[in-house]
Amino acid sequence: MRSHVCLAAFMIVAGCSAERERSASQGEAGSAGTPSMATAGAQDLGDAPSALGGGGTGVVAGSSAASGAGGANSSAGATTSGGAPATGGAANGGTSGATTQAAGGGAGGSSSAAPGVRVVGRTALGANSALRFSWPGVSFHARFTGTQVSMNLNDGNDKNRFTVVVDGGTPKTVTTSGQATLALATGLQNGVHELVIWRNTEPGMGASEFSGLSSFGSGGALLSPAAAPDRRIEVIGDSLSAGAGVEGTSTSCSPGIDAFTNDYLAYGSVAARAVAADVVTIAWSGIGVYRSYSASDPTMPQRYDYAIPNDQTAWDFSAYQPHVVVINLGTNDFGAGNPGQPYVDAYVSFVKHVRSKYASASFVLIDMYGGDRLTALNNVVSTLKSGGESKVQTLSFSGVPNNNTACNQHPNTAAQNAMGALLAAHLKSSLGW
């Protein structure tokens, strides 16, 4: 069966749930286990991407039907936190299932007139035409009529956390477990509504399978999604980019950092909303570009190319072509001391590899803490520029207060907001956004 992917694309990780303790300012604790070596074929995504110069137009290439009748998936112990929307009981009624598919670059443009859900992030085809995903920040964008809405999700008994935003209102956090028809909002005024669902947790928490939206209330229905924005960002990093521990109010992470991780609050997501862009986040706690915090764990160059890094399902890079790639790697490389020239060499090699996937993108390399790390990053940029790379710059977050005062010394919400504002300002000035 051909595996289709929606507008923006993420990698998906299957399984591998683990609790991780990490210290951002001194390097992070190891990430979840090493991927198995079983490799799935690359996803067939249709047409090649359009040129990025004018922001390209995403071409809707049909829809994949969501699974069965609404009552088929029973509510399975889903919990809410942070003032989640009223949920009532398990939702019943038919599943409204189309998921819009984008051929080519996943760029902005008009969506199909057919009902559907626009997906931003790397995904792979799961059971019964569901979409599997596990990178943080995979998001679902929809419009519907009615008074309520539910999500059909198989979470494999994991405890993944999602942000839910209805009509641009206050974000709510929902924690899922198992296979469920999970009520996201009830008691809405009858009319047209906008919905965003955003995965907050990391690959180590296990893969989720999305099979559509349902239970819109009497006379309600799924509509065609709003057009994708013309701007596209990719963020590559570690726990700092995933929003790990951002919601923690103390330096301890009991019962575990994943309970406080929220990619919707991470700087890349903050910046993307500020400049009206789609964002794809490829982030894994503890990961480095030369060496990870745990020496036995894979590095980002070893995980980057996959739609599902834990089982090495290949990703087709034509599905999402960003205008700018933000890379924030080094915290874990320096966790055991200055790695020296091997770090510079590995970073340069990785940027060249990403360049081979994105011919037109600009690069922004993030410095978190200054000192030897900034010196090394400047050496990376100098080496790249001497080799002919002209579209690469650095941006420092080292002056941001509280960038290591949340859970397990990670940036708190204020720090993530400040870093997001710096990145947004940089994108506006450098790209004219």
Look up residue 319 and give its DSSP letter. Answer: G
- Going by their DSSP bridges, the two strands 139-146 and 191-199 should be labelled as antiparallel
Does residue 142 lie within any of the structural domains?
yes
What is the amino acid identity at position 306?
Answer: Y
- Residue 338 pLDDT exceeds 90: yes
Last-in-domain residue among 162, 197, 222: 222
Which of 191, 222, 253 is the endpoint of a domain?
A: 222
CA distance linking residue 136 with residue 114, whole number of Å: 28
Note whether residue 62 is domain-resident: yes
Question: 215 and 353 share a domain?
Answer: no
- The number of angstroms, rounded, from the C-alpha of 76 to the middle of its chain's C-alpha atoms is 25
**Same domain? 237 vs 311:** yes
Helix, strand, coil percentages (3-state) for the chain, rounded to 5, are 20, 25, 50
At 408, the pLDDT band (50, 70, 90 cuts) reads low
Asked if 283 and 414 sit in the same domain, the reply is yes
Question: Of 136, 128, 129, 182, nearest to 155 (Cα)?
Answer: 182
- Find out whether 260 and 250 touch, Cβ atoms under 8 Å: no
Is residue 289 pLDDT above 90, yes or no? yes
The residue segments making up the domain with residue 329 are 231-431
The confidence score (pLDDT) of residue 84 equals 30
Answer yes or no: do 425 and 380 share one domain.
yes
Residue 37 included in any domain: no
Min mean pLDDT across 80-94, 136-150, 213-227, 318-332 is at 80-94
Which amino acid belongs to residue 371? G
Task: For residues 81 and 181, state if they share a domain.
Answer: yes
* Predicted pLDDT at 14: 27
Same domain, 172 and 275: no
DSSP 356: H
The share of the chain scoring above pLDDT 90, in percent, equals 57
Instruction: Give the residue, 181 or 99, on which the prediction is more confident.
Output: 181
Residues 162 and 248 in one domain: no
Number of structural domains (the chain) is: 2
Amino acid 7: pLDDT = 32
pLDDT band at 166 (very low <50, low <70, confident <90, very high): very high
Q: Place 113 in a pLDDT band, splitting at 50, 70 and 90.
A: low
CATH code where residue 99 lies = 2.60.120.260
Interacting residues of 99 by C-beta distance below 8 A, sequence separation 6+: 6, 63, 64, 66, 116, 117, 119, 131, 210, 212
Q: What is the CATH number of the domain that holds 375?
A: 3.40.50.1110
Do 209 and 280 belong together in one domain?
no
The answer on pLDDT for 256 being more than 70 is yes
Residue 62 scores a pLDDT above 70: no
Both 277 and 218 in a single domain?
Answer: no
Q: Which of 39-48, 138-147, 225-234 has the lowest average pLDDT?
A: 39-48
Report yes or no on 21 lying in a domain. no
CA distances from 97 to 129, 228, 329 (A): 10, 19, 38
pLDDT: which is higher, 338 or 255: 338
pLDDT digits (tens, 9 = 90+) for 200-246: 999 988 889 999 999 999 999 999 999 999 999 999 999 899 887 77
Residue that terminates a domain, selected from 222, 255, 277: 222
For residue 161, what are the β-bridge partners? 175
Count of CB atoms within 10 A of residue 394's CB?
15
pLDDT in tens, 364-383: 999 999 999 999 999 999 99
Give domain status of residue 214, yes or no: yes
Q: Is residue 111 part of a domain?
A: yes
> What is the spatial order of strands in the sheet that 231-237 belongs to?
277-283, 231-237, 324-328, 362-367, 392-396
pLDDT at 17 over 50: no
Domain-located, residue 2? no
312 and 421 both lie in a single domain? yes
178-195 pLDDT, tens digit each: 888 999 999 999 999 999
Give the tokens for residue 159.
């405890």
Say what the pLDDT of residue 176 is. Answer: 86
Question: Do 203 and 112 have their domain in common?
Answer: yes
Asked if 361 and 264 sit in the same domain, the reply is yes
Q: Is the CB of residue 204 less than 8 Å from the CB of residue 18?
A: yes
pLDDT greater than 70 at residue 252: yes
pLDDT band at 19 (very low <50, low <70, confident <90, very high): very low
Residue 3 counted as domain residue:
no
Q: What is the dihedral of CA 197, 203, 208, 212, to 10 degrees?
A: 30
